[in-house]
């Protein structure tokens, strides 16, 4: 598990809190109200849209194909340089990495760390002037996909180190001095980690309790607190730590990001956490007791920590779908070869319709995920587009779809899908670790923002245009003057916008004709985009300020948008490759046909659902009304708390769980 749960829920008002972004409400972190928590999260959002966004336009009912067509192309010189590295990486992971041993021993050998360091894999995203490789997002993700196909724990190691660990925040917000001081060491093979989550704080940063007290002499801060689920935390020598600085004279205060020496006095790695999958993951519970951090190690300034974390995640999120795409490709290979060789009732199992549907889904969805990811990477690399919505969509979509792919693969393989690779090999059969893939992929629906949190984050951005003009109308704290001004703004906005949702190019029989056999799918996307925008507007009119609590509705809105984004991407990509890869037009058509069925079902579920009944039932369940239903079993022991409390102070453990990797020779 990775410590990446900083995503805020949507705010009903769209208003940033007064004071510093990320500043704690007055008082302690205990007893923080829902409103205060939302204000802290809202204050960390990037509120401006100074670059175009395909995803933002899509949710507003506008299919801006000009933002993605023609299909972006990587720089040829950079591609050649990256391909040389990827070739070396392929040789190394194929010959020097034993994924089965990492799974069996729950440990990545020192030699693998050292080999990756010699290749420069720890500096893939670090600029060349600091000793890194300076790869593009596209080739970085391809490297993660390649390494993760042998061991997902390796993919997680490299991703946590440079997608959200010290390199990325410093690249975006660090000073020249900080970059010169830290980045060459990290490019050479030192490992970094990102520490945000606490035992009782995940997606609610307003309750962050780790403190950073300024020292009386002004030279730095003293860190005190406990951080949970820090990927690479046991092996990292450099940490990004988010802690709360009190607001005092001379200090803006608020949640602040620090670079912290992993071997500083007062740091104890109290344990290495173990999970159902990613068994090689070096994930820690880390305590800080009066740890001194010099003021020069503050990233971006006091009170900027949450904004830095969220900005870092925009491109950092692309690493997770990269490994989901790799899993899809691996699943397709196993499913194809097995289904062609395994014969039942006189025919290969893949020719039976029940299995054929699963094969078709795996192939089409893998193509869709890869295309979404490649497009996001290419858009991020040219830096002309705002991809905060697109990156979040591909993270959400790939994590959900990869899990479904893994589940279908287990079903295709039957009993062998449930059997371990070691057991298969012992019987003389090919050791396809299908059950391991299922275990490894499950975490992707939770870390870097759970599916539920991602739905809310994307929904907040999707309705940002509405909140920017009408937020005060539904804000209970807004006075009559603010509401009146908002009414004027909203009237002008909707007078221009609503008529554009009535008709569009998707209703023209010849619309998008240049896309040939895929034109009909793009016409469907255009019509569905306008329908989605109308549905969102109607929901806001109906529920107003209560809409932020309609989380199931918002989730379906986002899922429709994800499908439409994916359909747009595959059509543009396949059309651009129609001469060199004509089979991709078939895959794009297949994907779009499947996606249209899902979209239709989601539109129906927007209004025909059991959401309100479910909420009432949940309240009754929580009150214990149906507790008798739990009779007749032995429940988990109740002698320990669900969340372990912690208090500041020195550690009480006797053995430090940190691990130090010898430098490569």
pLDDT tens-digit profile of 354-367?
Answer: 999 999 999 999 99
Q: What is the pLDDT of residues 317-334, one digit of tens each?
A: 899 999 999 999 999 999
Burial class (CB in 10 A: 0-12, 13-18, 19+), 142: buried
At residue 44, the pLDDT reads 60
Residues in the chain: 665
Among the listed residues 165, 94, 181, the one whose alpha carbon sits nearest the alpha carbon of residue 124: 165
Token pair for residue 575?
Answer: 């059309």
Among the listed residues 350, 313, 395, the one whose alpha carbon sits nearest the alpha carbon of residue 562: 395
At residue 378, the pLDDT reads 96
- Cis check: omega of the bond before 70, within 30 degrees of 0: yes
Candidates 190, 282, 390, 448; catalytic one: 448
Positions of the chain with pLDDT lower than 70, given as ranges:
1-45, 47, 203, 470, 472-474, 476
Burial class (CB in 10 A: 0-12, 13-18, 19+), 327: buried
Separation of alpha carbons 128 and 168, rounded Å: 14
Tell me phi and psi for residue 192, to 5 degrees: -120, 165
At residue 488, the pLDDT reads 78
Judged by DSSP in three states, 405 sits in helix
Give the dihedral of Cα atoms 236, 240, 246, 250; nearest 10 deg.
Answer: 120
At residue 436, the pLDDT reads 98
Give Cα separations from 555 to 325, 438, 457, 540 (angstroms): 23, 24, 10, 14
Asked whether 391 and 314 are in contact (CB, 8 A), the reply is: yes
Separation of alpha carbons 471 and 410, rounded Å: 47
Q: Which single residue is written with the structure tokens 């390199």?
A: 167
Judged by DSSP in three states, 7 sits in coil
At residue 29, the pLDDT reads 52
Token pair for residue 530?
Answer: 């306008």
Q: Which single residue is written with the structure tokens 């993919």?
A: 155
At residue 38, the pLDDT reads 60
What H or E segment, with its residue span, contains residue 298?
strand 298-299
DSSP state of 214: E
- Whether residue 448 lies in the annotated active site: yes
Residues 6+ apart with CB under 8 A from 292: 215, 220, 221, 222, 223, 264, 265, 266
Give Cα separations from 19 to 32, 253, 476, 662 (angstroms): 17, 10, 20, 46
């Amino acid at each position: 598990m990775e410590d990446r749960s900083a995503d805020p829920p949507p705010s009903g008002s769209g208003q940033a809190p007064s004071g510093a972004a990320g500043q704690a409400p007055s008082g302690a972190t205990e007893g923080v109200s829902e409103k205060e928590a939302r204000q802290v999260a809202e204050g960390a959002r990037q509120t401006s849209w100074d670059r175009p966004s395909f995803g933002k336009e899509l949710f507003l009912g506008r299919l801006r194909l000009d933002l993605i067509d023609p299909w972006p192309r990587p720089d040829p010189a950079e591609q050649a340089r990256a391909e040389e590295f990827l070739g070396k990486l392929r040789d190394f992971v194929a010959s020097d990495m034993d994924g089965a041993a990492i799974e069996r021993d729950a440990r990545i050998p020192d030699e693998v760390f050292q080999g990756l360091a010699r290749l420069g894999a720890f500096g893939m995203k670090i600029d060349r002037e600091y000793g890194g490789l300076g790869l593009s997002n596209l080739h970085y993700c391809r490297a993660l996909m390649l390494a993760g196909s042998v061991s997902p724990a390796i993919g997680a190691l490299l991703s946590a180190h440079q997608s959200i660990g010290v390199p990325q925040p410093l690249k975006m917000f660090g000073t020249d001095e900080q970059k010169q001081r830290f980045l060459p060491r990290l490019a050479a093979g030192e490992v970094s980690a990102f520490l945000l989550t606490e035992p009782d704080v995940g997606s609610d940063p307003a309750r962050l309790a780790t403190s950073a007290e300024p020292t009386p002499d002004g030279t730095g801060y003293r860190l005190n607190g406990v951080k949970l689920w820090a990927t690479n935390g046991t092996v990292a020598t450099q940490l990004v730590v988010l802690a709360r600085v009190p607001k005092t004279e001379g200090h803006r205060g608020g949640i602040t990001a620090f670079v912290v020496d992993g071997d500083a006095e007062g740091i104890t790695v109290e344990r290495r956490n173990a999970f159902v999958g990613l068994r090689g993951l070096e994930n820690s519970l880390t305590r800080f007791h009066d740890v001194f951090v010099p003021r020069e190690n503050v990233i971006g300034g006091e009170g900027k920590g949450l904004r830095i974390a969220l900005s870092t995640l925009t491109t950092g999120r692309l690493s997770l779908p990269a490994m989901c795409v790799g899993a899809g490709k691996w699943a397709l290979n196993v499913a194809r070869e097995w289904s062609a060789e395994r014969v039942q009732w006189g025919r290969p199992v893949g020719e039976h319709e029940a299995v054929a549907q699963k094969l078709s889904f795996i192939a089409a969805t893998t193509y869709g995920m890869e295309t979404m990811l490649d497009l996001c990477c290419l858009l991020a690399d040219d830096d002309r587009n705002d991809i905060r919505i697109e990156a979040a969509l591909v993270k959400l979509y790939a994590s959900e779809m990869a899990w479904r792919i893994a589940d279908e693969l287990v079903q295709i393989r039957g009993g062998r899908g449930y059997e371990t690779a070691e057991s298969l090999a012992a019987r003389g059969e090919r050791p396809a670790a299908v059950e391991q893939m299922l275990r490894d992929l499950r975490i992707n629906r939770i870390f870097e923002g759970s599916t539920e949190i991602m739905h809310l984050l994307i929904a907040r951005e999707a309705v940002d245009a509405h909140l920017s003009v009408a937020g005060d109308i539904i804000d209970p704290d807004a006075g009559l003057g603010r509401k009146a001004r908002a009414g004027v703004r909203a009237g002008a906005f909707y007078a221009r916008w609503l008529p554009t949702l009535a008709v569009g190019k998707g209703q023209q029989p010849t619309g998008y004709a240049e896309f040939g056999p895929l034109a009909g799918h793009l016409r469907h996307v255009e019509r569905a985009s306008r329908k989605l925008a109308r549905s969102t507007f109607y929901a806001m009119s109906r529920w107003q300020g209560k809409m932020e609590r309609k989380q199931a509705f918002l989730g379906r809105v986002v899922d429709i948008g994800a499908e439409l984004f994916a359909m747009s991407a595959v059509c543009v990509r396949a059309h651009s490759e129609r001469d060199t890869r004509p089979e991709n037009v078939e895959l794009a058509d297949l994907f779009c046909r499947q996606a249209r069925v899902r979209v239709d079902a989601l539109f129906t579920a927007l209004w025909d659902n059991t959401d309100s009944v479910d909420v009432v039932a949940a309240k009754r369940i929580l009150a214990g009304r149906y507790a008798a239903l739990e009779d007749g079993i032995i429940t988990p022991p109740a002698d320990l708390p669900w969340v372990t409390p912690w208090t500041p102070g020195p550690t009480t453990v006797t053995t430090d769980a940190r691990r130090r990797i010898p430098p490569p020779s």
